[in-house]
C-alpha cells in the first residue's frame, strides 16, 4: 500500500522567502509522485509530477521538487514566495504500474506574509 505524510498542516513564509513544503512517501513499489495545488473554491491543479525520469522535477509557477529515494521524500520548493502562492498544497502517490488510484496527503496550507 502507498501513503504520503505531509509535515506541517500550516506553513507561513514571508513574501520573497524560500518556500519548503515537506512530503514523505511510503511505497512497496516504485512510485509516481505528484504535487497539486488547490486555490479557494477551485479544483486541484497539477503543479508537477515525478514519473521515474529526472529526480529533480520542475513545475509551474516556479515550483520544483526533488525525488530522494534514500530519504523517501519529495519536498516542494520555490526560491521566492509570491502572494499568489497562498493556497493548499497536496502531495500524492501512485504505484507506477497497474493501479490508477492516487493517495493524497492531508495537505499543507501555505500563507504568505506581506
Instruction: Tell me: does residue 90 bind other proteins (CB under 8 A).
Output: yes
Q: Contact with other proteins (CB under 8 A): which of 1, 56, 84, 100?
A: 100
Q: Contact with other proteins (CB under 8 A): which of 49, 64, 72, 86?
A: 49
User: Regarding beta strands 19-26 and 73-78, do their DSSP bridges make them parallel or antiparallel, or are they unpaired?
Assistant: antiparallel
Query: The C-alpha cell of 54 is what?
Result: 529526472
**105 or 110: CB nearest other proteins:** 105
Instruction: Tell me: does residue 27 bind other proteins (CB under 8 A).
Output: no
Q: Is the distance from CB of 17 to CB of 110 less than 8 angstroms?
A: no
Q: Contact with other proteins (CB under 8 A): which of 23, 92, 110, 112?
A: 92
Q: Is the distance from CB of 28 to CB of 74 less than 8 angstroms?
A: no
Instruction: Tell me: does residue 110 bind other proteins (CB under 8 A).
Output: no
Helices and strands per DSSP (H, E), number in the chain: 0, 11
**74 or 90: CB nearest other proteins:** 90
**2 or 73: CB nearest other proteins:** 2
Instruction: Tell me: does residue 104 bind other proteins (CB under 8 A).
Output: yes
Beta bridge pairs of residue 74 = 67
Beta bridge pairs of residue 58 = 64
Amino acid at each position: 500500500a502507498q501513503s504520503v505524510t505531509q509535515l506541517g498542516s500550516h506553513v507561513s513564509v514571508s513574501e520573497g522567502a524560500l518556500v519548503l513544503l515537506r512530503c514523505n512517501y511510503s511505497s512497496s513499489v516504485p512510485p509516481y509522485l505528484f504535487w497539486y495545488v488547490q486555490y479557494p473554491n477551485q479544483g486541484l491543479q497539477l503543479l508537477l509530477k515525478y514519473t521515474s525520469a529526472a529526480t529533480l522535477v520542475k513545475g509551474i509557477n516556479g515550483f520544483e521538487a526533488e525525488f530522494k529515494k534514500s530519504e523517501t521524500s519529495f519536498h516542494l520548493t520555490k526560491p521566492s514566495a509570491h502572494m499568489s502562492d497562498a493556497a493548499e498544497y497536496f502531495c500524492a502517490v501512485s504505484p507506477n504500474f497497474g493501479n490508477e488510484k492516487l493517495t493524497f496527503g492531508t495537505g499543507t496550507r501555505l500563507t504568505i506574509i506581506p
